[in-house]
Amino acid sequence: MNQTTPYLFFTGKGGVGKTSLACANAVKLADEGKRVLLVSTDPASNLQDVLESSVDEKISPVKGVPNLFSININPEVSAEEYRKRVTEPLKDILPEAEIRKMNEELSGACTTEIASFDEFSRFISGENEGGKFDVVIFDTAPTGHTLRLLELPAAWATFSEENPDGASCLGPTSALKSSQERYNKVVATLRDASKTTFYLVARAEQSSLREAWRTSEELNQLGLQNQELLVNGVFQSMDSSDALSQKMEAMAQKQLNEIPEKLQNIPLQTYPLLPYNLLGIEKLRSLLNTELQEKLVADQLTVTSELRYELNGLDQMVEDLTGRQDQGLIMTMGKGGVGKTIAASVLAVMIARRGFDVHLTTTDPAAHVQDFINQLDELPSNMTIDRIDPKLETKRYTEKVLERKGKKLNEEGRKLLLEDLKSPCTEEVAVFHAFSKAIQQARRKFVVIDTAPTGHTLLLLDTAGSYHREVLRNTDMDPSKIKTPYMALQDAEKSKVILVSLPETTPMREAAALQEDLKRAGIHPYAWIVNQSLSMQDGLKDPLLKSRALAEGEVIQNIDENLAKRLYGIPFIPEEKLLPAILRFYSENQLMKAN
């Protein structure tokens, strides 16, 4: 890494290793004598597990590392406090149903982002209670949407005067503790390359590197240009006789050689895939200390144990899904990068190959479904594919809201309304009517949907009050039909929600949080899929792969015993044409079972 700035942000999708890298750098800087504060704003934070030290919502020393302190800002707690500041003054003015409606409006990702930013801005403005630190490291960074929204002067006006009532889930930013002056100071610090560095953490995988490129572009647009790219978990084979390990190494090198052009001007640092999880101070030190790393790797690779964890494959899942019905709704859900699109594609093709009519659709703006389907020589004749275009649906919805609401607002009010309509929740509301049409088809055939509305969106649409009426006014659907899809999703016979995770701690926790969100809306997931499981592969020889497969066991066991009603797996397969490769894997397994 280059010369350390006082503020370091590690950003990236779940499971890429940003927490490990943030912690390893924090330990290294503290070992060098700097006074370091490590701040996490991750709702599924495993900071305590990684540091093997108590971490809570107050600044506290990290055990075993003088000079290192940590704090975990729980975004859900911050958001709850924010909601209280919004609604408490109105409790004697508005009816209880309106307060409930307002609380649900303020339960989305946008509110959580704003509330978290409100909390951690004090660490940048120097108003935190822990005294002066040489370096403050943030595990996760604010999104561009949060920063853009708070930059608008109208965002700081009072709720009654300026806050528009379009598709907002932000509520009155007048409920922020921060002053506009503090916010301006924070943004100036973030834009100052001598003070702040943004580390884009990715894996040596195409989708992960694309996400890093998108993040880089968004940061550049906001004037946050001091960036470095950290590619984590780069695999190097240790056994030339292991065909799987040779393929994995070749694919990783290919991705590194094909880093998106716009990322090639950013300083790049790579980190190897290690045979052990980065838990505890010694292992964190090893990530940035080659000599210690070599010692720990040698120790780890002498450990031998039974590593195979028996997971049912998606072939068994298809049998279970089609055993009692010939139609229904199947939805794959999960955080970005876990493999929900490949899971949806495999399920759709396998169900179609069993003779059932299938429609596959996606709300993924990147539309990777078509990329996977194009890998097949031919599509089953009883299978159809289309795409719900979130950008198009959001554009239509935004235009309607601007037309209705914009007339009543001044220029700053219109700017705020427009920025507010860029929120993730707006997009979910906008695609809902197209999503609803897909649900109707599930009465006649199997409909497989890649990504679906979150529990928050569904509750938002079902909440009584003026917000719901506003949604109805801005949709072409009959009001009675708005309720039908929501009821269908709660019907476990008609709808099967499937959560997708990787066999790693952070993606597992994120999927568990999504499951709780859905349960709040009365929707109980049918099953979990663990994607990219090495432990499903027979005949591993490479000691590094064997060690990684062994490490999956604890995560898979936790999902199986504590989180999932049913659990299935997709093996790790290092192939560019992934869909036909996975289909071959299951068909070969069926042949082996038959023999």
* Residues carrying an active site annotation: 15, 17-20, 42, 506
Q: Which helix (H) or strand (E) holds 303?
A: none
User: For residues 386 and 438, what is the distance between their CA atoms, to the nearest angstrom?
Assistant: 10
Strands (E), 105-159: 135-139
Cβ neighbors of 141 (< 8 A, separation 6 or more) are: 9, 10, 11, 198
Residue 260, amino acid: P
Nearest CA-CA partner of 335 in 167, 499, 550, 490: 499
Cα–Cα distances in Å, from 312 out to 16, 101, 527, 567?
Answer: 26, 42, 12, 7
Q: Which two tokens stand for residue 176?
A: 């922020």
Interatomic CA distance for residues 38 and 36, integer angstroms: 7
**Could you count the other beta carbons within 10 Å of the beta carbon of residue 568?**
23
Name the one residue in this structure whose structure tokens are 């409100």: 118
In which residue are the tokens 């000599």 written? 291
Report CA torsion sign: 483, 488, 491, 497: negative
Q: Dihedral angle at the C-alpha atoms of 171, 176, 182, 186, nearest 10 degrees?
A: -60
DSSP state of 117: H
Q: Which DSSP helix (H) or strand (E) runs through 362?
A: strand 358-362
Angle, helix 411-420 to helix 390-405, in steps of 10 degrees: 150
Residues recorded for the chain: 595
Q: Give the pair of three-digit tokens for residue 212.
A: 């890093």
Q: Which of 324, 318, 306 is nearest to 349 (CA)?
A: 318
Q: Give CA–CA dist 414/162, Å, rounded.
A: 9
138 vs 140: CA distance, rounded Å: 6
Asked whether 238 and 276 are in contact (CB, 8 A), the reply is no
CB 136 within 8 A of CB 123: yes
**Rounded to an integer, what is the distance from CA 419 to the centroid of its chain?**
22
d(CA 21, CA 361): 36
Q: Which residue has the tokens 């917000």?
A: 467
Q: Could you tell me whether strands 196-203 and 68-72 are parallel, antiparallel, or unpaired per DSSP bridges?
A: unpaired
DSSP classification of residue 53: S
Radius of gyration of the chain (CA): 24
Q: What does DSSP say about strands 358-362 and 312-313: parallel, antiparallel, or unpaired?
A: unpaired
